[in-house]
Structure 1
Amino acid sequence: MLQSQSNWKFTYKQNIDDHVEFPNLSLSPLTERLLSQRGITSTDEAKSFLNPEIDDLLSPAQLSDIEKAAERVKLAIDQGESILVFGDYDADGVSSTTVMVEALRELGAICEYYIPNRFTEGYGPNEAAFRQAHEEGFQIIITVDTGIAAVQEADIAKQLGIDLIITDHHEVQEKLPDAFAIIHPKCSENYSFKELAGVGVAFKFAEYLLGYFPNDLLDLVAIGTIADLVPLKAENRILAYHGLKAISKSKRPGIQALRKQCNIEGAFTEEDIGFLVGPRINAVGRLQDAYPAVELLLTNDVEEAEEIAQFIQQLNQERQKIVADITNEAEAIVQSDHSGNNDCVIVVAKEGWNEGVLGIVASKLVRTYQRPAIVLSINKDKGHAKGSARSIDAFDLFSNCMQIKETFIHFGGHAQAAGMSLNEENIEMLRQRLNQLAGEQLSVNDYKQLLNVDSSIDISELNVDLVKEIAKLSPFGMGNPKPLFHIKASPKELRQIGSQLNHLKISFQSDQSQLDSIGFGMGTLFSTIAPQSEIDAVGELQINEWNGKKKVQLLLKDLAIEEWQLFDYRGSKHLQKQLVSAFDYETSLVINSQSNSAENVLSEIYHSSYQELSLEGLKNKQIKDLILLDLPTELDQLSNVLSIVKPERIYACYHVNDGQYFSSLPIREDFKWFYAMLLKRKQFELNRDIPKLTRHKGWKEEKIKFIIKVFYELEFVKMDNGIIIPNPNPSKKDLTESLTYQNKINQSEIEAKLYYSNYNELKNWISHQLDKDSSTKEEVSYGL
């Protein structure tokens, strides 16, 4: 048995009756089912999903206040007023800023941009920046990807005579800012799609201002939309789909320089944006002012673009090291905390941590501990703490934090991610209140990551063309996750790979079909999987190309094994190596015989011999791993243990030195011949006559001694100083009455079942014992 690390939700089983066919699209049944599961019920919907059209985008005019805002901007352009674009320092904010600046400059506006410093100003608009803008002569401030929570700052702008136009997409709080105009999907009753990214909202405003659809800005829209993890459905899907096409063809020097730094060849994918481009743009604002990132996207100078991209690459490498260091420190804090205060929600804080990377650290803590995490950097001089939070699917971070909003100085974000600042003295209160809320709302299973499994498939169904067809459902992301598939098969090959053996490679075999799979970071599972086990695996299908040959590959997300596992190490001379880290010492039991053969093996685990074990004592123990170092002297000894313990994993580690199975049992004619010979000769001298008999009959010495011992136990012979003489008046007894004879038969049977059997025979025998009902067994202590 191997417990999955995540909760698996088989969505296709819930919607099995909802499968819709699309006969005119020539799709495989699997792809049709995937479309059905995404709520697509007609051929027209399927066509639109597979081939998103720009014409299906909503009109920007449906956004509230957009006309009012546009008229004000055009008046400013006509009157030569100065406009300041106020952005944010992440990839969405940077791309939003670039979109708005380019659109305004194209219209001839006197335009500059401003992005607050994360460390000195924090997130969003602030009074000092607005007063500075007023002193510099700006009459209009347009926020992009920020501003919906800037209630106080909007009042400041009004006092200064600045017209504030807010374009944002973040969650709307209880009170809206008193701004000149607010362009926000969630504040627009007539705008049906509410989930645009910040760059999507800025793009809509740019389109309305320009009076045409600006295709040349779609490359920027792709960056913000994908990097900000908004749901890639409806409008976002259209923008991301065409944005990826645009960025793949983009001649923008900044994009070309990023492509070079990221080693991206061919068309951009959503993974390229999410894992390569986005993190590099984010790295700038995480470590310093985000201006270089905006300049990279705005510049028309190739040399300048390459220079900035190289600088950003260096910042990203520095960011990676900082993240690793802080993550190690945060994990050490969590692991050393035995108070239980972080059991439901992790809240860690330390002076000196870089505020810019705390969101990444929080994400890593969530993945490691499967709990919501808040990571704070303490500023002792101000008595404040500032940081970021990330959550699990089952815990809405935004709504829960809003219940304790008095704890914060500033707070904003989404259900799964948020930023905040608070007084240092409130950190413990934050920890207690959130842990209390999570404890009331969440069950044990809620803390496990949820994997929505789209389909169970047979390996024989898979081919490269099918995987290519499934890829037409891209771009994948939030709201349109990459499909996860479930397979059930036994491994043909199972091994650890990577320089540190931290990855797992499994080649599954089913009939004549084979499927390679790889699990990154799953190398530690190697020792928990018996090579012959049937494995349930969940993962993403992809195409692996090597030396020009394309093969289907499964990118593993999770593994499970439903049945108990047998690890067959019989006769092995390398037990220490094979068993290292293979089990949990607290729930393990090692059984050895009275020979103490386990003296130097697994000495740190509690050992017990078959003779010492009590069935009643076993009933009260939780045993997950049973390690058998020696054969029992009776099959019932092991059978009774198995029927009570019922372990998840059994390690058969015993070996046989002087086996009885292959040493033949003398037949009755052998006994008759020897006894007749003894009656005729009257005596048999062991030292002198055994060598003669071995030459005469071809018998082994052990066989002769065995016959003599059986006769002695049955009192057919007497023994005196190595001389055997027949008993003149023996009682009539059967050979089976000899204990030596019984033991040999018994030991031969034990070896046959437990040692010389093949893997399947041994597993079947053990399974039969595990299925026995132990409730009727009496309490006994094992012994002869």
Structure 2
Amino acid sequence: MLQSKSNWKFNMLPENMTQWMDDSSNLSPVMKELLIQRGISTAQEAQDFLSPKLENLNDPIGFQSIDKACTRVHTAIEQNEKILVYGDYDADGVSSTTVLLKALQELGANCDYYIPNRFTEGYGPNEEAFKHASEEGYSVIITVDTGIASVHEAEVAKQLGMDLIITDHHEPQEELPDAYAIIHPKCSPDYPFKELAGVGVAFKFSQHLLGYFPDHLLDLVAIGTIADLVPLVRENRILTFYGLKKLAITKRFGLQALMKQCKIEGKINEQDIGFLIGPRLNAVGRLQDADLAVQLLMTDDVEEAEHLAEVVNELNQERQRIVASIVKEAEKMVSDQTEQSVIIVAKAGWNEGVLGIVASRLVKKYDRPAIVLAINEEKQTAKGSARSIPAFDLFQNCMKIRPLFTHFGGHAQAAGMTLPLSNVLEIQAELNALIQEQLTSDDFKQVIEISKTICIPEINEELITEIDQLAPFGMANPKPIFHLNAIPSEIRQLGNMKNHLKVLFNEKDKKIEGIGFSMGELFHNITPKTPISIVGELGINEWNGIKKPQLIIQDLKIEEWQLFDHRGKKQFDISPYFHPQEQHVVISNQEIESESGYPGNVCRISYDTPLDTIARAETLYIYELPDNLQQLQDIINQVQPVNIHVCLYVENSLYLSSIPSREDFKWFYAMVWKKKQIDLNKELQMIMDAKGWKKDHVIFISKVFFELEFVKIENGVIQLNTSPVKKDLQESRIYQERMNKAHIEKTLYYSTYQELIDWFRATINYMDREGLKEEITHGL
């Protein structure tokens, strides 16, 4: 048995929608089920989803205050008032800033932009920036991807005589800013889609300002929407679907140069943005002013674009080095928080810009919510980011203790905050209590949502191509994860360090391979001819022009007990198999050299250990042959292991030594009968030469006859008993012991793997029947 690392959650079909509602589609049964899971059950709905249409986008007029905001901006343009676009420093923020700037420039506005410095100003609008804007003559400030929590700053803008227009998508808090206008989907009852990214809101505002649909801005919308991890459904799906197409043929020199740095060519997908473009744009604001990223997106100069893209790429590499260093320090701190349900680590000197990434790494490794803070020793404050596990809504729970934070904002799974350093322990205690109240131990494991169990014959290139129509994948429209259960025909490790796992399945002339990256260590935990369950994404592996379907493994488990065969390996080291959360029992009559290093969850026993003192354990290691098979069966019944490791090493084998036959006994007895007396001190070599026997052979026969009282032996002289009682060889204890030990060796040591597993399976099946019988008895 092998436990999965994550909780597997199989998607259930929506209620009242368990089948495809019409037969007018040529979609495969698998594809239809995937669409039903997304609430799509007719051919027309499928057509709309698989082939998104721009005409299905909502009219911006549904935004509350959008007409008022547009009128104010047009008035400002007519009167040549200065307009400031106030953005945020992440990929969504800089793309939002660029979208609105491009629209305002197209309208001939007197405009510029401002993005606060993460390190000196922090997140969102701030009083000093507004005062400086007023001094510079700006009369209109438009926020993008920020501002919904800026109650104080809205009041400052009003006092300074500036009109503040807020466009944002973050969670509104209890009190809204008293701004000139707020354009926010969640503050607009008449706007039907609430999950736009900041760039989506900025685009909608730009559309209303321009008076037409600005499809030339969609490449920027795709970047911000995908990078900000908003749900890729409905409007977001349509915008990114067409935005990715625009991005592939973009005329923006900055994006062309950036994609060259990323080595992106041809068709672009959501992964190119999520793993290549987005992180590079984010890296700028994480390490310095984000202005550089806006300049890159805005530039009309090829040489400048290439230079800026190179700088952005270097900043991203520096960001990766900084993250690795902080993660290493943070992990050392986490070792002191083993009893905490939420991780909080803090240190002076940490780069505030990368703490969200560090928090994500800690959540992934430790399966707990994590808050990572940079300490300002002078002000005695801490500032940082938090990430959560799926089962814990970080935003809602932190709002319950909002007074403990100086500033706080975010989403269910991610947040940013500033707080007095003295509040760190109290926040940890409060969140611990909330987590323990709401979650079970199982909730802490990462969750893999599985779309469907699939069979090997169902998997082919056509199905994978069909599934790709569901793209772009992202939040609320994840790439389908499939479950497969089968017996592999081959398992092996890949890579120079053997750190990857390859599993090959064959069924009905169909082949499918599974690749588990960084799963190479599991190779030793999988036994031959054992059904394994794997979950992962389907894809096409193309090599030298040959295309083959494959499954990229995300997790695997084995639900049956397993037998690991280490026979014939002297002093085999079992310590790599020790799991810290499992119990282990080792059968060994001798002290094992490495036993002093065994952890407390490993217990060594012998066959003489009283059964009632042996505890149950997940894994049993067998180093010694029993005196009889029942001894081993009893221990198995007591331990009830799910994994058995046979580590036997036989040096002087009885099974391989020749066992005297009945004819051998008859010949020797006939010789003693005839001679009446034989002196082995003198005649042993003659007997050995005559029959080709070894010394042990002769000695064994002699001992059996002596035990059966057929002869007397004194000082190596055998003398015939002239009146023996008739007895069978089986009545000899010596004879029985040797035959029994030979049989045990044959069963447990010299058997084939299949014979050995059959013996253990029969024992375990017997154990299961006995357990069932006992359960029924107790039930009565």
Question: TM-score category by the smaller chain?
Answer: over 0.9
Q: CA deviation at 1:622?
A: 4.2
Aligned with 1:627: secondary structure? strand
Q: Is the 8 A contact 2:14 2:36 kept in 1?
A: no
2:637 pairs with 1:643: yes
Offset at 1:580?
4.4
Amino acid across the alignment from 1:723: V
Change (3 A) 1:50 1:670: same
Report if aligned partners of 1:528, 1:583 keep a CA contact under 8 Å in 2: no
Number of the residue aligned with 1:752: 746
Partners of 1:610 and 1:632 within 8 A in 2: no
**Deviations for 1:64-85, whole angstroms, at most 9, x for unmatched residues?**
1111111111111111111000
Change (3 A) 1:758 1:603: farther
The letter of the residue matching 1:720 is E
Structure-2 residue corresponding to 1:634? 628
Work out whether 1:417 is the aligned partner of 2:414.
yes
Q: Once the 2 structures are TM-superposed, how far is the Cα of residue 17 of structure 1 from its aligned partner?
A: 7.0
Letter in 1 for 2:257: A
Report Cα offsets for 1:435-476 as digits up to 9, x if no partner: 111110011111111111111111222112211111111111
> Structure 1 stretches of 5 or more lacking a match?
778-784
Distance 2:474 2:773 in 1: 56
Alignment partner, residue 322 of structure 2: 322
Which position in structure 2 is the counterpart of 1:600? 593
Give the match for residue 451 of structure 2. Answer: 454
Q: In 1, Cα distance between the equivalents of 2:407 and 2:490?
A: 54
CA distance in 1: counterparts of 2:72 and 2:772, whole angstroms: 84
Provide the C-alpha distance between the structure 1 equivalents of 2:772 and 2:730, rounded to a whole number of angstroms. 33
**AA of the residue aligned to 2:587:** I
How far apart in 1 are the matches of 2:12 and 2:701? 68
Deviation per CA, 1:87-120, whole angstroms, max 9, x where unpaired? 0000000000000000000010001000000001
The residue that corresponds to 1:146 in the other structure is 146
Deviates more, 1:663-672 or 1:483-492: 663-672
Residue 782 of structure 1: aligned partner = none
Q: Write the distance in 1 (CA, Å) between the matches of 2:41 and 2:772.
A: 54
State the Cα distance separating 1:511 from its structure 2 match.
5.2
Deviations 1:359-391 (A, max 9, x none): 000100110011111111110111111000111
Deviation, structure 1 residue 609: 5.1
**1:251–1:573 CA distance, 2 compared to 1 (3 A):** farther
CA contact (8 A) 2:14 2:37 kept: no
Q: Which moved more, 1:755-764 or 1:563-572?
A: 755-764
Could you report, residue by residue, the CA deviation over 1:537-562 in whole angstroms, capped at 9, with x for unpaired residues?
Answer: 11111111111111112111111111
Query: Is the contact made by 2:32 and 2:41 (CA closer than 8 Å) also made in structure 1?
Result: no
- Answer yes or no: is the 8 Å Cα contact 2:570–2:649 preserved in 1: no
Give deviations 1:518-546, integer Å, cap 9, x for gaps.
22232333333324432111111111111
Within a 5 Å distance, the mapping from 1:283-294 to structure 2 comes to 283-294=283-294
Shift of 1:490: 2.6
Number of the residue aligned with 1:476 = 473
SS at match of 2:142: strand
The correspondence of residues 191-590 of structure 1 with structure 2, limited to 5 A, is 191-337=191-337, 340=339, 343-510=340-507, 512-573=509-570, 575-576=572-573, 579-584=574-579, 587-590=583-586
How far 1:405 moved relative to its partner?
0.5
Provide Cα deviations, 1:613-656, integer angstroms capped at 9, x if missing partner. Answer: 111111xx242221111211110110000001011221101022
Alignment of 1:27-176 (within 5 A): 27-176=27-176
Question: Residues 752, 12 of structure 1: CA spacing in aligned structure 2 closer, same or farther, 3 A cutoff?
Answer: farther
2: CA distance, partners of 1:646 / 1:303: 71
* Contact 2:13/2:37 (<8 A) preserved: no
SS in 1 for 2:576: coil
Moved more, 753-762 or 268-277: 753-762
Q: Note closer, same or farther for the CA distance 1:509–1:601 as it changes in structure 2 (3 Å cut).
A: farther
Unaligned ranges ≥5, structure 2: 775-780
CA shift at 1:681, angstroms? 1.6
CA shift digits 1:290-316 (9 cap, x unpaired)? 001001111111111110011011110
Q: Is the 8 A contact 1:21 1:32 kept in 2?
A: no
> CA distance change for structure 1 residues 496 and 467 in 2, over 3 Å: closer, same or farther?
same
Structure 1 range deviating more: 28-37 or 754-763? 754-763
| Equivalent pair of 2:500/2:515 in contact (CA under 8 Å) | yes
Q: 2:613 aligned to 608, 612, 617, which one?
A: 617
User: SS where residue 271 of structure 1 aligns?
Assistant: helix
Cα separation, 1, equivalents of 2:475 and 2:745: 57
For residue 683 of structure 2, the aligned residue among 689, 709, 728 is 689
Supply the distance in 2 between the matched residues of 1:19 and 1:472 (Cα, whole angstroms). 20
Q: 1:418 & 1:455 partners in 2: Cα distance? A: 33
Q: How far has the Cα of 1:672 moved from its partner?
A: 2.1
The alignment's C-alpha RMSD in Å is 2.0
CA distance in 2, matches of 1:733, 1:563: 48
Letter in structure 2 aligned against 1:161: G
C-alpha deviations, 1:161-215, integer Å up to 9, x for none? Answer: 1011100000011011111111100011111100000000000011111111111
Look up the match of 2:19: 19
Alpha-carbon offset, residue 574 of structure 1: 7.3
Q: CA deviation at 1:678?
A: 1.1
CA offsets 1:239-298 (integer angstroms, 9 cap, x no match)? 111111110111211111111111112211101100110000000000000001001111
Measured after TM superposition, the shift of residue 41 of structure 1 is: 1.5
1:697, distance to aligned residue in structure 2 (A): 3.3
Distance in 1, Cα, partners of 2:596 & 2:666: 49
Which deviations, in whole Å up to 9, do the C-alpha atoms of 1:567-622 show, x marking residues without a partner? 1111124723xx341123772222124xx3x643655336645343111111xx24
Change (3 A) 1:349 1:454: same
SS at match of 2:390: coil
Q: Give SS of 1:83's match.
A: strand
SS of alignment partner, residue 336 of structure 1: coil
1:21, CA displacement in angstroms? 6.0
TM-score under structure 2 length normalisation: 0.95
CA distance in 2, matches of 1:223, 1:500: 36
For 1:527 and 1:254, locate their aligned partners in 2 and report how far apart those are by CA, in whole Å: 49
Deviates more, 1:427-436 or 1:766-775: 766-775
**% of aligned pairs identical?**
56
1 CA distance for matches of 2:322 and 2:209?
42
Residue range with higher mean Cα deviation, 226-235 or 702-711: 702-711
Alignment check: 8 A CA contact 1:12 1:455 kept: no
Deviation at 1:12, TM superposition (A): 4.5
Question: Do the aligned partners of 1:686 and 1:724 also contact (CA within 8 Å) in 2?
Answer: yes
Instruction: Mark the CA change 1:499 to 1:288 in structure 2 (over 3 Å): closer, same or farther.
Output: farther
Q: TM-score, normalised by structure 1?
A: 0.95
In structure 2, the CA distance between the partners of 1:609 and 1:391, relative to structure 1 (3 Å rule), is closer
CA contact (8 A) 1:489 1:509 kept: no
Task: Name the stretch that deviates more: 750-759 or 412-421.
Answer: 750-759
How many angstroms does 1:141 deviate by? Answer: 0.4
Question: In 2 relative to 1, CA 508–319 (structure 1 residues): closer, same or farther, beyond 3 Å?
Answer: same
Cα offset, 1:776, TM superposition: 9.9
Give, in angstroms, the shift of residue 491 of structure 1: 3.0
Report the Cα offset of residue 706 of structure 1. 2.1
Structure 1 window deviating more from structure 2 (492-501 vs 565-574): it is 492-501
C-alpha contact (below 8 Å) 1:12/1:453 kept by paired residues: no
The equivalent residue for 2:778 is none
| Change over 3 Å in CA distance of 1:142–1:462 after alignment to 2 | same
Amino acid at match of 1:584: H
The 3 A distance-change label for structure 1 pair 240 and 118 is same
